[in-house]
Structure 1
Protein backbone atom coordinates (compact mmCIF):
# COMPACT_ATOMS: atom_id res chain seq x y z
CA UNK A 1 0.00 0.00 0.00
CA UNK A 2 1.26 3.47 -0.87
CA UNK A 3 0.60 5.80 2.02
CA UNK A 4 -0.27 9.45 1.50
CA UNK A 5 2.27 10.32 4.21
CA UNK A 6 5.00 8.05 5.51
CA UNK A 7 8.08 8.45 7.67
CA UNK A 8 10.67 5.75 8.25
CA UNK A 9 12.93 6.07 11.28
CA UNK A 10 12.83 9.85 10.82
CA UNK A 11 15.38 11.55 13.06
CA UNK A 12 16.47 15.17 13.39
CA UNK A 13 19.05 16.40 15.89
CA UNK A 14 20.33 19.90 16.56
CA UNK A 15 23.93 19.40 17.65
CA UNK A 16 23.68 17.77 21.05
CA UNK A 17 19.98 18.56 21.27
CA UNK A 18 17.43 16.04 20.10
CA UNK A 19 14.62 17.20 17.84
CA UNK A 20 12.85 13.98 16.88
CA UNK A 21 14.02 10.38 17.09
CA UNK A 22 13.05 7.34 15.03
CA UNK A 23 9.56 8.59 14.09
CA UNK A 24 7.58 6.06 12.05
CA UNK A 25 4.23 7.21 10.65
CA UNK A 26 1.97 5.65 8.04
CA UNK A 27 -1.07 7.71 7.08
CA UNK A 28 -3.31 6.26 4.35
CA UNK A 29 -5.14 8.38 1.77
CA UNK A 30 -8.34 10.04 2.96
CA UNK A 31 -7.50 10.04 6.67
CA UNK A 32 -7.48 12.90 9.15
CA UNK A 33 -4.52 12.36 11.45
CA UNK A 34 -4.10 14.48 14.56
CA UNK A 35 -0.58 15.03 15.84
CA UNK A 36 -0.65 15.75 19.56
CA UNK A 37 1.98 16.92 21.97
CA UNK A 38 2.91 19.79 24.25
CA UNK A 39 4.97 22.69 22.95
CA UNK A 40 8.52 21.60 22.23
CA UNK A 41 7.59 17.92 21.87
CA UNK A 42 8.71 17.68 18.23
CA UNK A 43 5.49 18.31 16.28
CA UNK A 44 6.81 21.22 14.23
CA UNK A 45 10.17 19.54 13.60
CA UNK A 46 8.37 16.50 12.18
CA UNK A 47 6.13 18.60 9.93
CA UNK A 48 8.96 20.85 8.73
CA UNK A 49 10.96 17.77 7.80
CA UNK A 50 7.97 16.29 5.99
CA UNK A 51 7.46 19.43 3.92
CA UNK A 52 11.12 19.76 2.98
CA UNK A 53 11.79 22.83 5.11
CA UNK A 54 14.23 20.93 7.31
CA UNK A 55 16.64 18.17 6.31
CA UNK A 56 16.53 15.03 8.46
CA UNK A 57 19.65 13.77 10.20
CA UNK A 58 18.66 10.23 9.25
CA UNK A 59 15.66 8.28 8.06
CA UNK A 60 13.31 9.35 5.31
CA UNK A 61 9.86 10.73 4.64
CA UNK A 62 7.52 10.34 1.69
CA UNK A 63 4.56 12.36 0.41
CA UNK A 64 2.43 10.34 -2.02
CA UNK A 65 5.50 8.11 -2.40
CA UNK A 66 7.80 11.04 -3.21
CA UNK A 67 10.76 12.07 -1.04
CA UNK A 68 10.48 15.87 -0.54
CA UNK A 69 14.25 16.13 -0.07
CA UNK A 70 15.14 14.30 -3.29
CA UNK A 71 12.37 15.74 -5.47
CA UNK A 72 10.95 18.77 -3.64
CA UNK A 73 9.06 20.18 -6.62
CA UNK A 74 7.15 16.97 -7.29
CA UNK A 75 6.47 16.36 -3.59
CA UNK A 76 5.28 19.87 -2.83
CA UNK A 77 2.98 19.80 -5.86
CA UNK A 78 0.98 17.27 -3.81
CA UNK A 79 0.82 19.36 -0.64
CA UNK A 80 -0.98 22.30 0.90
CA UNK A 81 1.10 23.47 3.85
CA UNK A 82 0.47 25.86 6.73
CA UNK A 83 3.51 26.15 9.03
CA UNK A 84 3.11 27.46 12.54
CA UNK A 85 5.09 30.56 11.58
CA UNK A 86 4.80 32.06 8.12
CA UNK A 87 5.31 35.41 6.42
CA UNK A 88 2.99 37.03 3.91
CA UNK A 89 3.82 39.89 1.57
CA UNK A 90 2.56 42.90 3.56
CA UNK A 91 1.70 45.03 0.54
CA UNK A 92 -0.38 42.33 -1.13
CA UNK A 93 -3.97 41.37 -0.47
CA UNK A 94 -5.04 37.83 0.19
CA UNK A 95 -6.61 37.71 -3.26
CA UNK A 96 -3.37 38.81 -4.92
CA UNK A 97 -1.55 36.07 -3.03
CA UNK A 98 -4.11 33.48 -4.12
CA UNK A 99 -3.67 34.59 -7.75
CA UNK A 100 0.12 34.46 -7.41
CA UNK A 101 0.22 30.94 -5.98
CA UNK A 102 -2.48 29.78 -8.40
CA UNK A 103 -0.25 30.85 -11.29
CA UNK A 104 2.71 29.01 -9.77
CA UNK A 105 0.64 25.85 -9.34
CA UNK A 106 -1.12 26.07 -12.68
CA UNK A 107 -4.54 26.45 -11.04
CA UNK A 108 -7.01 28.29 -13.26
CA UNK A 109 -10.12 28.24 -11.09
CA UNK A 110 -9.63 29.97 -7.72
CA UNK A 111 -13.30 29.89 -6.76
CA UNK A 112 -12.61 27.49 -3.90
CA UNK A 113 -10.48 30.19 -2.27
CA UNK A 114 -13.56 32.39 -2.00
CA UNK A 115 -15.59 29.51 -0.59
CA UNK A 116 -13.04 28.87 2.17
CA UNK A 117 -12.69 32.60 2.83
CA UNK A 118 -16.45 32.98 3.21
CA UNK A 119 -16.70 30.06 5.62
CA UNK A 120 -13.96 31.29 7.96
CA UNK A 121 -14.47 35.02 7.47
CA UNK A 122 -11.18 35.73 5.70
CA UNK A 123 -10.91 39.15 4.06
CA UNK A 124 -9.12 38.57 0.77
CA UNK A 125 -9.26 42.20 -0.34
CA UNK A 126 -7.51 44.08 2.48
CA UNK A 127 -3.72 44.49 2.43
CA UNK A 128 -2.05 41.91 4.65
CA UNK A 129 -0.35 44.63 6.70
CA UNK A 130 -3.76 45.78 7.95
CA UNK A 131 -4.80 42.35 9.19
CA UNK A 132 -4.65 41.05 12.75
CA UNK A 133 -2.76 37.86 13.60
CA UNK A 134 -5.97 35.85 13.50
CA UNK A 135 -6.97 37.25 10.12
CA UNK A 136 -3.50 36.54 8.71
CA UNK A 137 -3.95 32.97 9.94
CA UNK A 138 -7.17 32.79 7.91
CA UNK A 139 -5.29 33.88 4.79
CA UNK A 140 -2.72 31.17 5.49
CA UNK A 141 -5.49 28.58 5.67
CA UNK A 142 -6.93 29.73 2.34
CA UNK A 143 -3.49 29.55 0.69
CA UNK A 144 -2.90 26.05 2.05
CA UNK A 145 -6.18 24.65 0.76
CA UNK A 146 -7.54 26.63 -2.20
CA UNK A 147 -5.93 24.34 -4.82
CA UNK A 148 -7.49 21.18 -3.31
CA UNK A 149 -4.18 19.35 -2.76
CA UNK A 150 -4.19 15.58 -2.16
CA UNK A 151 -2.28 16.11 1.10
CA UNK A 152 -2.85 18.93 3.61
CA UNK A 153 -0.26 19.51 6.36
CA UNK A 154 -1.13 22.08 9.02
CA UNK A 155 0.92 23.05 12.06
CA UNK A 156 -1.25 24.41 14.90
CA UNK A 157 -3.77 25.78 12.37
CA UNK A 158 -6.34 27.07 14.87
CA UNK A 159 -3.90 29.35 16.69
CA UNK A 160 -5.28 32.89 16.75
CA UNK A 161 -8.75 31.87 15.56
CA UNK A 162 -11.83 32.58 17.65
CA UNK A 163 -14.02 29.60 18.67
CA UNK A 164 -16.67 30.09 15.98
CA UNK A 165 -14.05 30.24 13.24
CA UNK A 166 -12.37 27.16 14.69
CA UNK A 167 -15.67 25.30 14.34
CA UNK A 168 -16.01 26.31 10.69
CA UNK A 169 -12.41 25.40 9.99
CA UNK A 170 -12.75 21.92 11.48
CA UNK A 171 -15.81 21.36 9.30
CA UNK A 172 -13.71 22.32 6.26
CA UNK A 173 -11.19 19.64 7.21
CA UNK A 174 -13.97 17.06 7.49
CA UNK A 175 -15.19 18.09 4.03
CA UNK A 176 -11.63 17.66 2.72
CA UNK A 177 -11.59 14.11 4.05
CA UNK A 178 -14.93 13.41 2.34
CA UNK A 179 -13.35 14.60 -0.90
CA UNK A 180 -10.56 12.04 -0.48
CA UNK A 181 -7.86 14.41 0.74
CA UNK A 182 -5.46 13.43 3.50
CA UNK A 183 -5.05 15.80 6.45
CA UNK A 184 -2.21 15.84 8.96
CA UNK A 185 -2.53 18.57 11.55
CA UNK A 186 -0.73 19.22 14.79
CA UNK A 187 -2.29 20.57 17.94
CA UNK A 188 -1.94 20.68 21.69
CA UNK A 189 -5.73 20.97 22.06
CA UNK A 190 -7.18 17.52 22.64
CA UNK A 191 -10.83 18.46 22.04
CA UNK A 192 -10.36 19.60 18.43
CA UNK A 193 -8.28 16.55 17.55
CA UNK A 194 -10.71 14.20 19.29
CA UNK A 195 -13.61 15.68 17.36
CA UNK A 196 -12.43 15.09 13.79
CA UNK A 197 -9.36 12.83 13.74
CA UNK A 198 -9.54 9.22 12.59
CA UNK A 199 -6.32 8.52 14.45
CA UNK A 200 -4.06 10.39 16.81
CA UNK A 201 -0.28 10.30 17.16
CA UNK A 202 1.23 11.42 20.45
CA UNK A 203 4.77 12.75 20.48
CA UNK A 204 6.71 13.49 23.65
CA UNK A 205 10.31 14.66 23.92
CA UNK A 206 10.88 13.88 20.25
CA UNK A 207 9.60 10.31 20.41
CA UNK A 208 6.32 9.05 18.94
CA UNK A 209 4.92 7.22 21.93
CA UNK A 210 1.52 6.14 20.60
CA UNK A 211 -0.75 6.02 17.59
CA UNK A 212 -4.34 5.59 18.77
CA UNK A 213 -7.98 5.91 17.93
CA UNK A 214 -8.93 9.16 19.72
CA UNK A 215 -11.79 7.48 21.58
CA UNK A 216 -9.43 4.83 22.92
CA UNK A 217 -7.08 7.60 23.97
CA UNK A 218 -9.69 9.42 26.02
CA UNK A 219 -11.04 6.17 27.45
CA UNK A 220 -7.63 5.50 28.99
CA UNK A 221 -7.14 9.05 30.17
CA UNK A 222 -6.85 9.93 33.83
CA UNK A 223 -9.86 11.92 35.07
CA UNK A 224 -10.45 13.71 38.34
CA UNK A 225 -13.92 12.74 39.62
CA UNK A 226 -15.75 14.68 42.31
CA UNK A 227 -19.07 13.41 43.68
CA UNK A 228 -21.28 15.44 46.03
CA UNK A 229 -23.73 13.53 48.20
CA UNK A 230 -26.92 14.91 49.75
CA UNK A 231 -26.38 16.63 53.08
CA UNK A 232 -26.22 14.16 55.94
CA UNK A 233 -25.67 11.17 53.66
CA UNK A 234 -22.48 9.19 54.01
CA UNK A 235 -21.84 7.02 50.95
CA UNK A 236 -21.81 3.34 51.81
CA UNK A 237 -20.15 2.27 48.58
CA UNK A 238 -16.76 3.90 49.23
CA UNK A 239 -15.11 0.48 49.52
CA UNK A 240 -16.80 -0.63 46.30
CA UNK A 241 -15.56 2.44 44.43
CA UNK A 242 -12.10 2.15 45.93
CA UNK A 243 -11.84 -1.40 44.60
CA UNK A 244 -12.75 -0.42 41.03
CA UNK A 245 -9.88 -0.86 38.59
CA UNK A 246 -8.45 2.56 37.79
CA UNK A 247 -9.39 4.35 41.04
CA UNK A 248 -6.57 6.14 42.84
CA UNK A 249 -6.12 8.87 45.45
CA UNK A 250 -9.64 8.51 46.86
CA UNK A 251 -10.60 10.93 49.60
CA UNK A 252 -13.84 11.56 51.54
CA UNK A 253 -14.37 15.11 52.76
CA UNK A 254 -18.11 15.46 53.44
CA UNK A 255 -20.11 15.96 51.35
CA UNK A 256 -17.52 15.30 48.61
CA UNK A 257 -15.93 12.06 47.48
CA UNK A 258 -12.97 12.71 45.16
CA UNK A 259 -10.65 10.38 43.27
CA UNK A 260 -8.62 9.93 40.09
CA UNK A 261 -10.07 7.46 37.60
CA UNK A 262 -8.70 5.84 34.44
CA UNK A 263 -10.98 2.80 34.18
CA UNK A 264 -14.16 1.84 32.37
CA UNK A 265 -16.78 4.60 32.49
CA UNK A 266 -19.73 2.18 32.59
CA UNK A 267 -18.35 0.40 35.66
CA UNK A 268 -17.98 3.73 37.45
CA UNK A 269 -21.50 4.88 36.57
CA UNK A 270 -23.01 1.61 37.79
CA UNK A 271 -21.18 1.89 41.11
CA UNK A 272 -22.26 5.50 41.64
CA UNK A 273 -25.87 4.93 40.52
CA UNK A 274 -26.44 2.42 43.31
CA UNK A 275 -26.82 5.29 45.82
CA UNK A 276 -28.33 8.78 45.68
CA UNK A 277 -25.92 11.54 44.68
CA UNK A 278 -26.46 15.28 44.38
CA UNK A 279 -23.85 16.05 41.74
CA UNK A 280 -20.98 14.49 39.84
CA UNK A 281 -18.19 16.46 38.19
CA UNK A 282 -15.62 14.84 35.91
CA UNK A 283 -12.75 17.09 34.90
CA UNK A 284 -11.58 16.81 31.31
CA UNK A 285 -7.92 15.82 31.41
CA UNK A 286 -5.15 18.03 30.12
CA UNK A 287 -2.76 16.58 27.57
CA UNK A 288 -0.15 16.05 30.27
CA UNK A 289 -2.72 14.19 32.40
CA UNK A 290 -3.46 11.97 29.42
CA UNK A 291 0.24 11.17 29.18
CA UNK A 292 0.29 10.30 32.88
CA UNK A 293 -2.87 8.24 32.69
CA UNK A 294 -1.74 6.44 29.56
CA UNK A 295 1.82 5.64 30.56
CA UNK A 296 2.00 6.33 34.29
CA UNK A 297 4.44 8.67 35.98
CA UNK A 298 7.79 8.17 34.34
CA UNK A 299 6.37 5.41 32.18
CA UNK A 300 7.64 4.22 28.87
CA UNK A 301 8.31 6.99 26.42
Structure 2
Protein backbone atom coordinates (compact mmCIF):
# COMPACT_ATOMS: atom_id res chain seq x y z
CA UNK A 1 0.00 0.00 0.00
CA UNK A 2 1.30 3.45 -0.91
CA UNK A 3 0.22 7.04 -0.42
CA UNK A 4 1.62 9.88 -2.52
CA UNK A 5 1.28 13.48 -1.29
CA UNK A 6 -2.30 13.05 -0.12
CA UNK A 7 -4.04 16.21 0.99
CA UNK A 8 -7.59 16.60 2.26
CA UNK A 9 -9.31 19.92 2.72
CA UNK A 10 -12.60 20.57 4.52
CA UNK A 11 -13.55 24.14 3.71
CA UNK A 12 -10.64 26.23 4.92
CA UNK A 13 -9.30 23.41 7.14
CA UNK A 14 -6.47 21.32 5.72
CA UNK A 15 -6.80 17.96 7.48
CA UNK A 16 -4.02 16.17 5.58
CA UNK A 17 -0.96 18.04 4.34
CA UNK A 18 0.91 15.91 1.81
CA UNK A 19 0.92 12.51 3.52
CA UNK A 20 3.24 10.00 1.80
CA UNK A 21 4.38 6.53 2.85
CA UNK A 22 4.97 3.04 1.48
CA UNK A 23 3.90 -0.11 3.30
CA UNK A 24 5.37 -3.47 2.19
CA UNK A 25 2.96 -6.35 1.79
CA UNK A 26 2.92 -8.79 4.66
CA UNK A 27 3.98 -6.18 7.20
CA UNK A 28 2.35 -4.30 10.06
CA UNK A 29 2.42 -0.52 9.58
CA UNK A 30 1.43 1.61 12.53
CA UNK A 31 0.25 5.21 12.46
CA UNK A 32 0.33 6.98 15.77
CA UNK A 33 -0.63 10.47 16.76
CA UNK A 34 -2.79 12.49 19.11
CA UNK A 35 -6.50 12.87 18.52
CA UNK A 36 -7.11 15.12 15.52
CA UNK A 37 -3.75 14.33 13.92
CA UNK A 38 -5.37 12.91 10.77
CA UNK A 39 -5.17 9.16 11.38
CA UNK A 40 -8.82 8.41 10.60
CA UNK A 41 -8.89 10.79 7.64
CA UNK A 42 -5.85 9.00 6.19
CA UNK A 43 -7.54 5.62 6.52
CA UNK A 44 -10.82 6.76 5.02
CA UNK A 45 -8.98 8.30 2.10
CA UNK A 46 -7.05 5.10 1.42
CA UNK A 47 -10.28 3.10 1.44
CA UNK A 48 -12.08 5.62 -0.84
CA UNK A 49 -14.66 6.36 1.83
CA UNK A 50 -13.70 9.97 1.23
CA UNK A 51 -11.82 11.39 -1.75
CA UNK A 52 -8.53 13.27 -1.36
CA UNK A 53 -8.30 16.88 -2.45
CA UNK A 54 -5.03 16.01 -4.17
CA UNK A 55 -2.56 13.14 -4.32
CA UNK A 56 -3.27 9.48 -4.90
CA UNK A 57 -2.92 6.05 -3.30
CA UNK A 58 -2.40 2.44 -4.28
CA UNK A 59 -4.07 -0.27 -2.21
CA UNK A 60 -3.16 -3.91 -2.95
CA UNK A 61 -1.73 -2.71 -6.22
CA UNK A 62 -4.78 -0.81 -7.49
CA UNK A 63 -6.20 2.70 -7.27
CA UNK A 64 -8.99 2.53 -4.65
CA UNK A 65 -10.92 5.24 -6.50
CA UNK A 66 -11.25 2.99 -9.54
CA UNK A 67 -11.61 -0.38 -7.81
CA UNK A 68 -14.96 -1.93 -7.01
CA UNK A 69 -16.29 -4.65 -4.70
CA UNK A 70 -13.45 -7.00 -5.65
CA UNK A 71 -10.96 -4.82 -3.79
CA UNK A 72 -13.23 -4.24 -0.82
CA UNK A 73 -13.65 -7.98 -0.29
CA UNK A 74 -9.89 -8.27 0.10
CA UNK A 75 -9.92 -5.74 2.95
CA UNK A 76 -10.98 -6.09 6.57
CA UNK A 77 -11.91 -2.70 8.01
CA UNK A 78 -12.54 -1.76 11.61
CA UNK A 79 -13.63 1.90 11.82
CA UNK A 80 -12.85 4.04 14.82
CA UNK A 81 -16.52 4.90 15.27
CA UNK A 82 -18.22 1.52 15.11
CA UNK A 83 -21.95 1.64 14.33
CA UNK A 84 -23.76 -1.71 14.56
CA UNK A 85 -27.36 -2.80 14.04
CA UNK A 86 -28.63 -3.24 17.59
CA UNK A 87 -31.64 -5.34 16.59
CA UNK A 88 -29.63 -8.41 15.52
CA UNK A 89 -27.70 -10.89 17.58
CA UNK A 90 -23.96 -10.94 17.16
CA UNK A 91 -24.15 -14.18 15.19
CA UNK A 92 -26.74 -12.87 12.71
CA UNK A 93 -24.87 -9.62 12.25
CA UNK A 94 -21.60 -11.41 11.51
CA UNK A 95 -23.35 -13.72 9.06
CA UNK A 96 -24.66 -10.64 7.28
CA UNK A 97 -21.12 -9.26 7.06
CA UNK A 98 -19.85 -12.65 5.84
CA UNK A 99 -22.38 -12.59 3.00
CA UNK A 100 -20.95 -9.21 1.95
CA UNK A 101 -17.22 -9.79 2.48
CA UNK A 102 -16.98 -13.19 0.87
CA UNK A 103 -16.30 -16.76 1.99
CA UNK A 104 -15.61 -17.35 5.68
CA UNK A 105 -14.15 -20.69 6.70
CA UNK A 106 -16.58 -22.83 8.68
CA UNK A 107 -16.05 -22.37 12.40
CA UNK A 108 -13.88 -19.28 11.94
CA UNK A 109 -16.39 -16.89 13.50
CA UNK A 110 -16.91 -19.14 16.51
CA UNK A 111 -13.14 -19.55 16.96
CA UNK A 112 -12.55 -15.80 17.02
CA UNK A 113 -15.52 -15.21 19.32
CA UNK A 114 -14.25 -17.81 21.77
CA UNK A 115 -10.77 -16.31 21.86
CA UNK A 116 -12.23 -12.88 22.52
CA UNK A 117 -14.76 -14.11 25.08
CA UNK A 118 -17.69 -12.89 22.98
CA UNK A 119 -21.23 -14.29 23.37
CA UNK A 120 -22.71 -14.34 19.85
CA UNK A 121 -26.23 -15.13 21.01
CA UNK A 122 -26.81 -11.80 22.74
CA UNK A 123 -28.57 -8.89 20.99
CA UNK A 124 -26.07 -6.27 19.90
CA UNK A 125 -27.98 -3.51 21.70
CA UNK A 126 -27.31 -5.24 25.03
CA UNK A 127 -23.56 -5.52 24.51
CA UNK A 128 -21.07 -3.32 26.32
CA UNK A 129 -18.72 -1.04 24.38
CA UNK A 130 -15.94 -3.59 24.75
CA UNK A 131 -18.06 -6.45 23.42
CA UNK A 132 -19.22 -4.35 20.48
CA UNK A 133 -15.56 -3.68 19.73
CA UNK A 134 -14.95 -7.43 19.78
CA UNK A 135 -17.70 -7.85 17.19
CA UNK A 136 -15.92 -5.30 15.04
CA UNK A 137 -12.64 -7.18 15.37
CA UNK A 138 -14.27 -10.49 14.43
CA UNK A 139 -15.88 -9.00 11.29
CA UNK A 140 -12.53 -7.52 10.21
CA UNK A 141 -10.51 -10.72 10.70
CA UNK A 142 -13.03 -13.48 9.91
CA UNK A 143 -12.57 -13.69 6.12
CA UNK A 144 -8.76 -13.59 6.35
CA UNK A 145 -8.38 -10.53 4.11
CA UNK A 146 -5.19 -9.60 2.30
CA UNK A 147 -5.24 -6.22 4.07
CA UNK A 148 -6.52 -5.26 7.51
CA UNK A 149 -7.21 -1.58 8.16
CA UNK A 150 -7.82 -1.06 11.86
CA UNK A 151 -8.63 2.32 13.40
CA UNK A 152 -8.07 2.43 17.19
CA UNK A 153 -8.85 -1.32 17.36
CA UNK A 154 -8.40 -1.86 21.11
CA UNK A 155 -10.68 0.96 22.22
CA UNK A 156 -12.84 -0.35 25.05
CA UNK A 157 -10.91 -3.63 25.48
CA UNK A 158 -9.42 -4.72 28.78
CA UNK A 159 -5.67 -5.54 28.93
CA UNK A 160 -6.25 -9.30 28.50
CA UNK A 161 -8.29 -8.79 25.34
CA UNK A 162 -5.76 -6.26 24.07
CA UNK A 163 -3.18 -9.04 24.19
CA UNK A 164 -5.51 -11.41 22.35
CA UNK A 165 -5.89 -8.75 19.67
CA UNK A 166 -2.11 -8.37 19.38
CA UNK A 167 -1.85 -12.15 18.99
CA UNK A 168 -4.34 -11.97 16.10
CA UNK A 169 -2.25 -9.27 14.43
CA UNK A 170 0.90 -11.37 14.80
CA UNK A 171 -0.87 -14.38 13.29
CA UNK A 172 -2.14 -12.30 10.39
CA UNK A 173 1.38 -11.07 9.64
CA UNK A 174 2.74 -14.64 9.84
CA UNK A 175 0.08 -15.67 7.30
CA UNK A 176 1.26 -12.99 4.86
CA UNK A 177 -1.56 -10.52 5.49
CA UNK A 178 -0.82 -6.80 5.68
CA UNK A 179 -2.02 -4.76 8.65
CA UNK A 180 -2.46 -0.98 8.68
CA UNK A 181 -3.05 0.02 12.28
CA UNK A 182 -3.74 3.39 13.88
CA UNK A 183 -3.59 4.15 17.56
CA UNK A 184 -2.72 6.78 20.13
CA UNK A 185 -1.54 3.98 22.47
CA UNK A 186 2.22 3.87 22.00
CA UNK A 187 2.76 0.50 23.70
CA UNK A 188 0.28 -1.08 21.30
CA UNK A 189 2.18 0.15 18.26
CA UNK A 190 5.49 -0.83 19.84
CA UNK A 191 4.35 -4.44 20.27
CA UNK A 192 2.53 -4.84 16.95
CA UNK A 193 4.20 -2.80 14.21
CA UNK A 194 7.24 -3.30 11.99
CA UNK A 195 7.26 0.35 10.97
CA UNK A 196 5.56 3.36 12.47
CA UNK A 197 4.60 6.74 11.06
CA UNK A 198 4.13 9.54 13.57
CA UNK A 199 1.41 11.91 12.45
CA UNK A 200 0.87 15.43 13.79
CA UNK A 201 -1.43 18.14 12.47
CA UNK A 202 -2.03 16.28 9.21
CA UNK A 203 1.67 15.77 8.43
CA UNK A 204 4.04 12.87 8.98
CA UNK A 205 6.73 13.90 11.46
CA UNK A 206 8.84 10.81 10.85
CA UNK A 207 8.68 7.23 9.60
CA UNK A 208 10.86 4.66 11.30
CA UNK A 209 11.16 1.02 12.18
CA UNK A 210 10.15 0.35 15.77
CA UNK A 211 13.71 -0.87 16.48
CA UNK A 212 15.24 2.39 15.22
CA UNK A 213 12.70 4.42 17.15
CA UNK A 214 13.59 2.46 20.27
CA UNK A 215 17.33 2.94 19.65
CA UNK A 216 16.82 6.70 19.49
CA UNK A 217 14.53 6.74 22.51
CA UNK A 218 15.21 8.58 25.73
CA UNK A 219 16.77 6.69 28.64
CA UNK A 220 16.88 7.93 32.22
CA UNK A 221 20.25 7.75 33.98
CA UNK A 222 21.06 7.79 37.69
CA UNK A 223 24.47 7.15 39.24
CA UNK A 224 26.23 7.50 42.57
CA UNK A 225 30.03 7.89 42.61
CA UNK A 226 32.68 8.44 45.25
CA UNK A 227 36.15 9.97 45.10
CA UNK A 228 35.10 12.76 42.74
CA UNK A 229 33.79 16.27 43.27
CA UNK A 230 30.47 17.64 42.04
CA UNK A 231 32.28 19.97 39.62
CA UNK A 232 34.51 17.19 38.22
CA UNK A 233 31.59 14.83 37.63
CA UNK A 234 29.52 17.58 36.03
CA UNK A 235 32.39 18.46 33.68
CA UNK A 236 32.85 14.83 32.66
CA UNK A 237 29.17 14.24 31.93
CA UNK A 238 28.64 17.63 30.26
CA UNK A 239 31.04 16.56 27.51
CA UNK A 240 28.77 13.70 26.38
CA UNK A 241 26.55 14.20 23.33
CA UNK A 242 22.89 13.42 23.88
CA UNK A 243 23.02 13.82 27.65
CA UNK A 244 20.46 16.37 28.85
CA UNK A 245 18.67 17.53 32.00
CA UNK A 246 21.82 16.88 34.05
CA UNK A 247 21.70 17.46 37.79
CA UNK A 248 24.67 16.72 40.06
CA UNK A 249 24.59 16.96 43.85
CA UNK A 250 26.58 15.76 46.84
CA UNK A 251 25.28 13.35 49.46
CA UNK A 252 27.80 12.97 52.24
CA UNK A 253 30.95 11.52 50.67
CA UNK A 254 29.09 10.48 47.50
CA UNK A 255 28.11 12.46 44.45
CA UNK A 256 24.79 11.68 42.74
CA UNK A 257 23.90 12.53 39.13
CA UNK A 258 20.69 12.17 37.15
CA UNK A 259 20.17 12.89 33.45
CA UNK A 260 18.37 11.79 30.31
CA UNK A 261 20.30 10.10 27.52
CA UNK A 262 19.25 10.30 23.89
CA UNK A 263 21.95 8.67 21.84
CA UNK A 264 24.65 6.04 21.90
CA UNK A 265 25.52 4.17 25.10
CA UNK A 266 29.26 3.33 24.51
CA UNK A 267 30.51 6.93 25.04
CA UNK A 268 28.67 6.98 28.36
CA UNK A 269 30.23 3.67 29.41
CA UNK A 270 33.68 4.99 28.48
CA UNK A 271 33.16 8.19 30.47
CA UNK A 272 32.09 6.23 33.55
CA UNK A 273 34.68 3.45 33.28
CA UNK A 274 37.24 5.07 35.60
CA UNK A 275 34.73 6.16 38.24
CA UNK A 276 34.17 4.42 41.53
CA UNK A 277 30.43 3.72 41.28
CA UNK A 278 28.22 2.43 44.08
CA UNK A 279 25.00 2.66 42.04
CA UNK A 280 24.21 2.92 38.34
CA UNK A 281 20.75 2.75 36.76
CA UNK A 282 20.08 3.18 33.04
CA UNK A 283 16.40 2.60 32.41
CA UNK A 284 14.92 0.89 29.38
CA UNK A 285 14.21 3.32 26.51
CA UNK A 286 11.10 5.40 27.14
CA UNK A 287 9.45 5.17 23.73
CA UNK A 288 6.44 7.17 24.84
CA UNK A 289 8.57 10.10 25.95
CA UNK A 290 10.41 10.07 22.63
CA UNK A 291 7.21 10.00 20.60
CA UNK A 292 5.70 12.82 22.61
CA UNK A 293 8.84 14.82 21.90
CA UNK A 294 8.34 14.18 18.18
CA UNK A 295 4.73 15.38 18.45
CA UNK A 296 6.05 18.79 19.45
CA UNK A 297 8.99 18.93 17.02
CA UNK A 298 8.87 20.73 13.67
CA UNK A 299 7.04 18.61 11.09
CA UNK A 300 9.23 16.84 8.59
CA UNK A 301 8.78 13.70 6.57
CA UNK A 302 11.88 11.63 7.03
CA UNK A 303 13.27 8.32 8.16
CA UNK A 304 15.20 8.08 11.38
- TM bracket (short chain): 0.7 to 0.9
Map 1:144-163; keep pairs closer than 5 Å. 144-163=140-159
Which residue of structure 1 aligns with residue 177 of structure 2? 181
2:222 partner SS: strand
| TM-score, normalised relative to structure 1 | 0.88
Map 1:99-114; keep pairs closer than 5 Å. 99-114=95-110
Q: Is the 8 A contact 1:237 1:271 kept in 2?
A: no
Which residue of structure 2 aligns with residue 227 of structure 1? 222
Give deviations 1:33-81, integer Å, cap 9, x for gaps.
Answer: 1111121111111011112221111111222122222224232121000
Which residue of structure 2 aligns with residue 280 of structure 1? 281
Map 1:10-29; keep pairs closer than 5 Å. 10-29=6-25
Which residue of structure 2 aligns with residue 81 of structure 1? 77
Larger Rg: 2
2:144 partner SS: coil
1:245 partner SS: coil
2:81 partner SS: coil
Give deviations 1:114-164, integer Å, cap 9, x for gaps.
Answer: 222222222222111111111111110001110000000001111111111
C-alpha distance in 2 between matches for 1:299 and 1:152: 28
Which residue of structure 2 aligns with residue 64 of structure 1? 60
C-alpha distance in 2 between matches for 1:157 and 1:61: 23
Does 1:207 find its partner at 2:208? no
Structure 1 residues 9, 104: closer, same or farther in 2, change over 3 A? Answer: same
Map 1:131-142; keep pairs closer than 5 Å. 131-142=127-138
Does 1:40 find its partner at 2:36? yes
Q: Is the 8 A contact 1:91 1:127 kept in 2?
A: yes
C-alpha distance in 2 between matches for 1:193 and 1:20: 21
Give deviations 1:71-113, integer Å, cap 9, x for gaps.
Answer: 2423212100001101111121221111111112332534222
Q: Is the 8 A contact 1:102 1:110 kept in 2?
A: no
Once the two structures are TM-superposed, the CA of residue 239 in structure 1 deviates from its matched residue by: 2.9
2:241 partner SS: coil
Q: Is the 8 A contact 2:226 2:277 kept in 1?
A: no
Which residue of structure 2 aligns with residue 119 of structure 1? 115
Q: Unaligned stretches of 5+ in structure 2?
A: none
Q: Is the 8 A contact 2:102 2:143 kept in 1?
A: no
C-alpha distance in 2 between matches for 1:97 and 1:8: 36
Structure 1 residues 11, 143: closer, same or farther in 2, change over 3 A? Answer: same
C-alpha distance in 2 between matches for 1:54 and 1:65: 19
C-alpha distance in 1 between matches for 2:117 and 2:267: 45
Once the two structures are TM-superposed, the CA of residue 286 in structure 1 deviates from its matched residue by: 6.1
